[in-house]
Structure 1
Amino acid sequence: MRALNLDQIRAFLMVCRLGGVQKAAQNLHLTQPAVTTRIKKLEEGLGVALFERQASGMKLTKRGELLMQYAEQFERLSDRVEKVVVAPDGIDRRLRVGASETIAQCWLPDFVSALHAKYPRLEVDINVDISVNLRAGLLAREIDLAMLLGPVSEYSVDNVVLPGFELTWYSAYGIAQTQEGGNRLLREKPVITYARNTRPWRELKTLLFDQVGPDVSVFPSSSLSACFRLVEAGLGVAALPRVLGRSLVEENRLQEFDPGWKPSDLSFTVSYLGDPHSHLVEAAATLARTVAEDWHLVN
């Protein structure tokens, strides 16, 4: 028997977890032939078949199921060696980070800077998207770390709570700010909000129905920047993060108004898969919380 190869073990585990070579190749940033070759060499080295190739996908053989148990132990040992033995500046890996636009416009640059300071050789891929897509990407193992409207209620996911964002109502500058005027605005102006089927969108739809009535026009947008621009142009009103609207208010481009109610604060988590355990991902999540807390203290 040949010595076990860590890259072959990782390819084997990824095929097991994702159910096929194509998805495993995408996750490992390899070609399908490269993953197939690693699996074939692992089987040749062990002298056993690890998978049954079926039309529905790859199914583990009895020997494959046995190897998976040991491979997971090997993976955990490798992670522990990296944690205990390898110096942070010696870690040469890729970290795939997904972030909501709210976080991207606030403290994400500080987080990336802190990551590079701690892990100089770490390659960081950034994907900014809505929380629904980030959650799907995390569960599909396309993202290592997701900063999103959370928590993610899955047994396989660990969630680190982040500071929230207070929402306040905004209109274009110069519109009456009384509570009566605020209620009138919500009846007369379209309400611009977060993307359809997101948590803020669902909550706002319910609150508008209860507080104002069923005939309020709601315009969802997947771009937070676009929401602010539309409000500034007088095309609607919106409940948006106060910390992001503050400078626009100071510049007399927007103004706050109070209809007597507002949606609850946005609650974020930094979430990651607990299996396989990665001390790097866990350390990055802890660092994200620290950076977020520091940013909120001064903003």
Structure 2
Amino acid sequence: MAITLAQVRAFERIARLGSFHAAAQHVGITQPSISHRIQDLEAILGTELFIRNGPRITLTADGHSFLEYADRLLETADEAAVRFKKRNPLLGLLRLGVNESFAHVCLTDLMSHLEQQYPKLMTSVTVGDTGMISGLLNDHQLDIAVISEPGVASHIQRVPIGRNELAWVASSKLKLPSGILTPSDLAQNHVIVSPQTARLHTTMTNWFSLGGRPPSRVSTCNSLSVTLLMIKSGFAIGLVPVRVVAEELARGELVAVPVTVPVEAHRVFLCYQIVEFGPDLEAIVAVTKELISHHQLFR
């Protein structure tokens, strides 16, 4: 047998009101019914919760201990009911999806804002590529997301928020040919890029196809941070968002490779479940756009 919320609520009302009769009236059931719920609850827990002295009752030691659990269970149940009745993810768990560019530059600031404005809010953050995040949105597993070129269904609203500029970068230690390089020139190098589910991988493949020659060696990595470490070590060259490597370029750790064919920027969208959109989620959309503008993440 499992504990039910009806049993927990019956227990909590008896503990607070001091009698089975008063609790039954408050809950809207008969006294025998509420007594039956407590009997079942005590059987499940294997302990007595009340000391019965005529019409008045007092809590046992275990009863006092269980009251803390009851309060938390009922509070969570009430919060869940309000969250789904109002269709507002900011009243419970906000499921956030972001691409790695946003995660590297803006995510910390967004989380700080959420902490200040919604101190009880819990967040679940998924960092991933276009394919992953689009799939989670379509399956209703995310409430809001920042992604490039999303492939989302009609129940997802897309708000354009800029373009993610891309560039070929390499370690300053790597000896590349001088001058402006063609796709064929770069094809001779070891390339590291996001997996095939990522829009970046498609952009890389299309770019090399313009030169009529695929790269001789391609490695994939699903972590932009690790990809950058390998590029900086000279392991390979990579196609990455310019804003994410701005500091490394300024310090001279990385260099942007001049190329004859410009790399097309990715259109970035802020996506959310239409059914959940309301004033609070609208505020999060607004602050997300403000952070992107403040950090000059997308153009």
TM-score normalised according to structure 1 size:
0.64
Q: Which aligned pairs between 1:94-109 and structure 2 lie closer than 5 A?
A: 94-109=93-108
C-alpha change, 1:204 and 1:34, in structure 2 (3 Å) is farther
Distance across 2 between alignment mates of 1:77 and 1:217: 50
1:105 match: secondary structure: helix
Distance across 1 between alignment mates of 2:282 and 2:182: 44
Give the partner amino acid of 1:230: M
Shift, 1:271, TM fit: 0.8
2:135 match: secondary structure: helix
Q: Number of aligned residue pairs: give it.
A: 224
Distance across 1 between alignment mates of 2:244 and 2:297: 15
C-alpha change, 1:223 and 1:297, in structure 2 (3 Å) is closer
Partner of 1:134: 133
User: Of residues 79, 94, 100 in structure 1, which corresponds to 2:86?
Assistant: 79
Partner of 1:282: 282
C-alpha change, 1:194 and 1:217, in structure 2 (3 Å) is same
Shift, 1:79, TM fit: 2.9
User: What runs of 5+ residues in structure 1 fail to find an aligned partner?
Assistant: 1-31, 36-73, 83-90
Distance across 2 between alignment mates of 1:259 and 1:220: 22
C-alpha change, 1:163 and 1:215, in structure 2 (3 Å) is closer
Q: Which moved more, 1:182-191 or 1:130-139?
A: 182-191
Q: Would you say the 8 A contact 1:160–1:286 is kept in 2?
A: no
TM-score normalised according to structure 2 size:
0.64
Q: Indicate whether 1:220 and 2:227 are aligned.
A: no
Q: Would you say the 8 A contact 2:187–2:208 is kept in 1?
A: no
Which has the larger Rg? Answer: 2
Shift, 1:276, TM fit: 4.6
User: What runs of 5+ residues in structure 2 fail to find an aligned partner?
Assistant: 6-80
Give the partner amino acid of 1:213: R
1:281 match: secondary structure: helix
Report runs of 4+ in structure 1 exceeding 4 Å deviation: 32-35, 74-78, 180-185
Q: Which aligned pairs between 1:108-147 and structure 2 lie closer than 5 A?
A: 108-147=107-146
Q: Which aligned pairs between 1:90-239 and structure 2 lie closer than 5 A?
A: 92-174=91-173, 175-176=175-176, 178-179=178-179, 186-239=186-239
C-alpha change, 1:244 and 1:34, in structure 2 (3 Å) is farther
Q: Would you say the 8 A contact 1:171–1:237 is kept in 2?
A: yes
Distance across 2 between alignment mates of 1:228 and 1:77: 41
Deviations 1:222-259 (A, max 9, x none): 11112211211212111211222222223332111112
